[in-house]
Structure 1
Amino acid sequence: MTLTTTPLRHRIAGTLLLVGLVLQILSFTPLFSLTRSASYVLWGSVLLLWLDIPARTRWQAGALAGVGLGLTAWARFGFGAQVDWSRILTGNLYVVAMLLGVSFISLIGRDAGGRAAALGRTGFLGMWQTWAGVHFLGIVLNLSTMFLVGDRLAKQSELKMPQLLAINRGLSSAALWSPFFASMAVVLTLVPDMAYPTIVVWGFPMAMLAGLVSSLDLRQRFALHDVAGFSLAPRSLLMPVVMAFWVLLFHWVITPSLNIVSIITFLMPLAAAVTRVSGRLRSGTRELQQHVLVRMPLMRGEVSLFLAAGLLTIGLSTFIAAWMGESWTLFAQFRAPQAIACFAIIVGTATLGLHPIIGISVLASMLQLAGSEQTLFAFTALGGWAVGTSVGPLSGINLSLQGRYGVSGYQLMRQNIPYGLIMFILMVGALWGMDAWLF
Structure 2
Amino acid sequence: MNLLKKCTGWFVLGTLVFYLLSVAHLTPVLLPTLLAWGANIAMWHTLAPSAKRQVTWLMMIGIATLLFAGSKGTWMTWQQVFAVNLPMLAMFVAVSFLDLTSSTDEKRPLPKGLSAIFNTALGVQVLGAVINLSVILVFADRIKGAIKLTPEQQFILTRNFSAAAWWSPFFVATGVAIIYAPGMQWQKTLIPGLAMGLVAIIFSTAEAFRRTKGDFNGYPIRKESLFIPMILASSVIFFHFIWPDISILVLICLLAPSATILLMRTPSRRKSLSHFVNHKLAQIGSQFALFLAAGIFSNGISAIILSYPQFFNLDSFTFSPMLFSFTLAIMIIAGVIGIHPVVSIAIASPMLLPLHPDPTQLGFLFLSAWAISAGSSGLTGLGLLMTSRYQIPTKTIVTNSVHYAVFMWLLCSLVNSFFL
TM superposition score normalised by structure 2 = 0.92
More deviation in 322-331 or 80-89?
322-331
41, 57, 61: which is aligned to 1:63? 57
Q: Which among 201, 207, 212 is matched to residue 223 of structure 1?
A: 212
Confirm whether residue 93 of structure 1 aligns to residue 82 of structure 2.
Answer: no
Equivalent-residue separation in structure 1 for 2:363 and 2:316 (angstroms): 16
Percent identity, aligned pairs only, is 25
- Residue 249 of structure 1 is matched in structure 2 by 238
1:30 alignment counterpart: 25
Cα pair distance change 1:332/1:306, threshold 3 Å: same
Q: 2:120 is matched with which residue?
A: 130
Number of aligned residues: 419
Within 5 A, what are the aligned runs for 1:396-415?
A: 396-415=381-400
Change (3 A) 1:395 1:8: farther
Match of 1:104 in 2: 97
Q: Confirm or deny that 1:268 pairs with 2:256.
A: yes
Q: What residue ranges of structure 1 are gaps of 5+ in the alignment?
A: 1-6
Offset at residue 36 of structure 1 (A): 2.5
Unpaired stretches in structure 2, ≥5 consecutive residues: none
Whole-Å Cα distance in 2 between the matches of residues 43 and 131 of structure 1? 37
The ranges of structure 1 where at least 4 consecutive aligned residues each deviate by more than 6 angstroms after the TM superposition are none
What's 2:222 paired with? 233
Cα distance change, pair 327–363 in 1 and its aligned pair in 2 (3 A): closer
Taking the aligned partners of 1:240 and 1:374, their CA distance within structure 2 comes to 27
- Alignment deviations for residues 128-154 of structure 1 (CA, whole Å, 9 cap, x no partner): 111011011111111111122223323
- Is the 8 Å Cα contact of residues 329 and 368 (structure 1) preserved in structure 2? no
Alpha-carbon distance change, 303 to 331 in structure 1, aligned in 2, over 3 angstroms: farther
Output aligned runs, 1:113-262, within 5 Å.
Answer: 114=105, 119=109, 121-155=111-145, 157-220=147-210, 222-253=211-242, 255-262=243-250
Matched AA of 1:67: I
For the 8 Å contact 1:183–1:382, the answer to whether it is kept is yes
Q: Distance in 1 between matches of 2:3 and 2:205?
A: 45
Kept in 2: contact 1:13–1:45 (CA 8 A): yes
| Partner Cα distance (2:187, 2:80) in 1 | 32
The alpha-carbon deviation at position 261 of structure 1 amounts to: 0.9
Kindly indicate whether the alpha-carbon contact (under 8 Å) linking 1:335 and 1:376 is maintained by their aligned counterparts in 2: no
Shift of 1:433: 2.3
Measure, in 2, the Cα distance between the counterparts of 1:346 and 1:309.
Answer: 15
Instruction: Give distance in 2, aligned partners of 1:409 and 1:367.
Output: 32
State the SS of the aligned residue for 1:324.
Answer: coil
Cα deviation code 1:214-248 (max 9, x no counterpart): 1122223x224432222423322211111122223
3-state SS of the aligned residue for 1:422? helix
- Contact conserved, 1:102 with 1:264, CA < 8 A, in 2? yes
Counterpart amino acid of residue 237 in structure 1: L
SS of the residue corresponding to residue 219 of structure 2 reads strand
| Residue pair 1:331, 1:367 contacting (<8 A) in 2 also | no
Instruction: Indicate if the aligned counterparts of 1:122 and 1:228 stay in contact, CA closer than 8 A.
Output: yes
Tell me the C-alpha RMSD between the 2 structures.
Answer: 2.5
Amino acid at match of 1:103: S
C-alpha distance in 2 between matches for 1:276 and 1:135: 21
Change in Cα spacing, 1:289 to 1:430, as seen in structure 2 (3 Å) is same
Q: Structure 1 residues 120, 331: CA separation in 2 closer, same or farther (over 3 Å shift)? A: farther
Paired with 1:329 and 1:47, the residues of 2 have a C-alpha distance of 39
Structure 2 residue matching 1:368: 3-state secondary structure: helix
**TM-score normalised by L of structure 1:** 0.88
Whole-Å separation in 1 of the counterparts to 2:221 and 2:190:
23
Q: 1:333 to 1:225 in 2, by over 3 A?
A: closer
